Amino acid sequence: MVNYVNTVLVSNLASGAVLTAAPAAAASLNAASADAGKFIIMNCDPSVESNKLYDVTTSNAGDIQTIKVGIVTKKNCVLRKADGSVEYRPIVKWSNEIKAADIKSFSFLEYAADTEDTAVINFGNLDATTLALFAEGGKRIIVRLTFKDMPHRYRKWTESYEYVTKAGDTKATIATGIANMINSEYKRARVQATASGNNVTLVALPYDDDDSVDSLSWANKVRFNVNVYYTNPAAEGWEANNKNFPHGVTITKTPGKQYPASAKLVRDRESWAMGYQGILNRGEGTWPIIKPDMETNLDNHYDAITLEFENMYRAADDIQRKTKQTLEVYGTTGQITSLKNILGAFVAGESVAPAAEGGNG
């Protein structure tokens, strides 16, 4: 099993500028710096000049061998100077050192809206003989939903909904009846059904949770499949219990997509990454809870940067080992382009002219 050491940096600022100098001091211990939420990159090369420590841009990143990436937090530390004056400097949350030669992967994600699992049951081409049988009334049409996201080890969870046809039923009335039947079971609802013409559309419902950033309700999605069959209780003998597929009915499934940097997933990543800082009790129902404030905003839309690298170190017996690590950066949509461009130049080992800088975009 490979464990990745994760550093997660989250910014909700509407301006994506990357600092090229030390962050501004705060007015007081409890007042956030004007640069809080901004990203900063440290040049960790031994030859760097002291006044160029944070001057990392697309124009020089390709010439740097080792960096750290950080974000200016809202917390401050007290610096008492020799002359008796006091300065409140913001605390920067840093990644571990990242060496250009040890980078394994660099990727960028642009925000996309989530979608839910959708299935359409189409009765439009229902076999005429079967429709005539349904129109007699008293026939059992069962819609069985198989959920794949439930935490059951040896089997999947199923929900079956039974619609009993009425005399004179048509394709449209059957579709409407099935949709109403599913929606009426509100206590076990995991999908929303709508009828339109001869179709029944089933859309997965979003997960219920407390919509809090300090939560133990990890992000998840409802995943399901659909099957339809009918029985004819008026049939003779064993045939009364026989399960028959209604010929001509089609079921079309469209899997839902979950954007890997949707807000609740960002929340989970930020929380999990605290474990690598030694912060173990970080959720509701545990005591004591001593941890930094979460930065994720569940109403925000995030772009994402993921940087995977393997730092080498010498272990016992003078053997060499590698530590697999990742840096995950999440920023408001369109506001981490500058950081992406700088890291891209660093990864590629190529300096880019200042005109190519991404600005605040």
Question: Is the Cβ–Cβ distance between 330 and 8 less than 8 Å?
Answer: yes
Tell me, yes or no, whether 342 and 278 share the same domain: yes
Q: In this predicted model, what pLDDT tens digit does every residue of 111-152 receive, in sequence order? A: 999 999 999 999 999 999 999 999 999 999 999 999 998 877
* Structure confidence at residue 65 (pLDDT): 94
- Where does a domain end: 254, 285, 314? 254
Distance CA 100, CA 78 (A): 34
pLDDT grade for 357, boundaries at 50, 70 and 90: very low
The more confidently predicted of residues 285 and 306 is 306
Q: What share of the chain is helix, strand, coil (3-state, %, to 5)?
A: 20, 35, 45
- Where does a domain end: 225, 254, 283? 254
Q: In this predicted model, what pLDDT tens digit does every residue of 161-207 receive, in sequence order? A: 999 999 999 999 999 999 999 999 999 899 999 999 999 999 999 98
Distance CA 31, CA 88 (A): 9
pLDDT grade for 283, boundaries at 50, 70 and 90: low
User: Domain with 226 in it: what CATH number?
Assistant: 2.60.40
Tell me, yes or no, whether 244 and 265 share the same domain: no
Q: Is residue 361 part of a domain?
A: no
Q: In this predicted model, what pLDDT tens digit does every residue of 221-254 receive, in sequence order? A: 999 999 999 999 999 888 999 999 999 999 999 9
Q: Is residue 302 part of a domain?
A: yes
* Structure confidence at residue 280 (pLDDT): 77
Tell me, yes or no, whether 96 and 145 share the same domain: no
Max Cα-Cα span within the chain: 101
pLDDT grade for 306, boundaries at 50, 70 and 90: very high
What phi and psi values does residue 43 have, to the nearest 5 degrees? -80, 115
Tell me, yes or no, whether 145 and 21 share the same domain: no
Global pTM? 0.87
Question: Is the Cβ–Cβ distance between 304 and 335 less than 8 Å?
Answer: no
Number of domains in the chain: 2
Tell me, yes or no, whether 285 and 210 share the same domain: no
* Structure confidence at residue 351 (pLDDT): 58
Q: In this predicted model, what pLDDT tens digit does every residue of 82-110 receive, in sequence order? A: 998 999 999 999 999 999 999 999 999 99
Three-class DSSP category at 177: helix
Tell me, yes or no, whether 124 and 223 share the same domain: yes
* Structure confidence at residue 99 (pLDDT): 94
* Structure confidence at residue 268 (pLDDT): 92
Average pLDDT value over all residues in the chain: 90
What is the sign of the dihedral through the CA atoms of 224, 227, 232 and 238? negative
pLDDT at 314 over 90: no
Distance CA 293, CA 287 (A): 16
Tokens (6 digits) for 12: 């909700």
pLDDT at 1 over 70: no
The more confidently predicted of residues 313 and 310 is 310
Lowest mean pLDDT among 5-19, 129-143, 284-298: 284-298
Rounded to whole angstroms, what are the CA distances from 138 to 27, 125, 142, 235, 240? 77, 21, 13, 11, 12
DSSP structure class, residue 97 = P
* Structure confidence at residue 143 (pLDDT): 97
pLDDT at 355 over 70: no
pLDDT grade for 3, boundaries at 50, 70 and 90: low
Tell me, yes or no, whether 166 and 289 share the same domain: no
Containing structural domain, residue 63: 5-111+261-356
- Where does a domain end: 219, 254, 289? 254
What is the sign of the dihedral through the CA atoms of 284, 289, 293 and 295? negative
What is the sign of the dihedral through the CA atoms of 234, 239, 245 and 248? negative
pLDDT grade for 273, boundaries at 50, 70 and 90: very high
* Structure confidence at residue 285 (pLDDT): 67
- Radius of gyration of the chain measured on its C-alpha atoms: 29
| Amino acid letter, 53 | L
Tell me, yes or no, whether 204 and 327 share the same domain: no
Tell me, yes or no, whether 89 and 20 share the same domain: yes
Average pLDDT on 8-28 reads 92
Tell me, yes or no, whether 122 and 224 share the same domain: yes
